[in-house]
Homo-oligomer: A and B are copies of this chain.
């Protein structure tokens, strides 16, 4: 519904033309190839292809298209990865809808726009305290792999696996592996 509403609002602006609106990353990528828009607006968490992957693919195949990320998630990790992938703007969904049209205009000129609150966080970004082993195990544990599966596939004792997780939990000030995985993902460390 948001997508439809924004498309309707933007197409009212005299200097903006809406070329299409799609519900997943693959369709969007295809449409970008076909219409070569000046600006692509995309969310991050989407079916089929994430907005981050979509951004990378678009910048690789059609570098003329500027990508504007519009998402709910105020995560420094997402922001950093979005910029690395070549996005030129990062807007949050809790901002008033009037900002969008201006953001689109700025994006079409290639200007960088980043939510100021978030922009400050990205530089104050503490660096990943996790060790390689810890990061690997935390990621896979966060994906639902069980202690036993991890131990077996890495040829470790279950105790060892639990120990890495314990270390990660402590370093991230979490209280369970799941919370630790969530925190690490938020910061873009996984």
Contacts and interface: CB of A to CB of B under 8 A. Distances in A.
Interface of A: 1-2, 4-6, 8-9, 12, 93-98, 100
A12 B11 CA distance: 13
Contacts of A95: 1
A135 B49 CA distance: 40
Contacts of A98: 4
- Which of A2, A5, A94 has its CB near the most chain B CB atoms (within 10 A)? A5
Q: Which of A1, A9, A93, A97 has the most CB of B within 10 A?
A: A1
Copies of this protein chain in the complex: 2
A22 to B, nearest CB: 13
Contacts of A2: 1-2, 5, 93, 97
A98 to B, nearest CB: 7
A93 B5 CA distance: 11
23 contacts: A1-B2, A1-B6, A1-B93, A1-B94, A1-B95, A1-B96, A1-B97, A1-B100, A2-B2, A2-B5, A2-B93, A2-B97, A4-B96, A4-B97, A4-B98, A5-B5, A5-B6, A5-B9, A5-B97, A8-B9, A8-B97, A9-B9, A12-B12
A129 to B, nearest CB: 27
A103 to B, nearest CB: 11
A95 B100 CA distance: 22
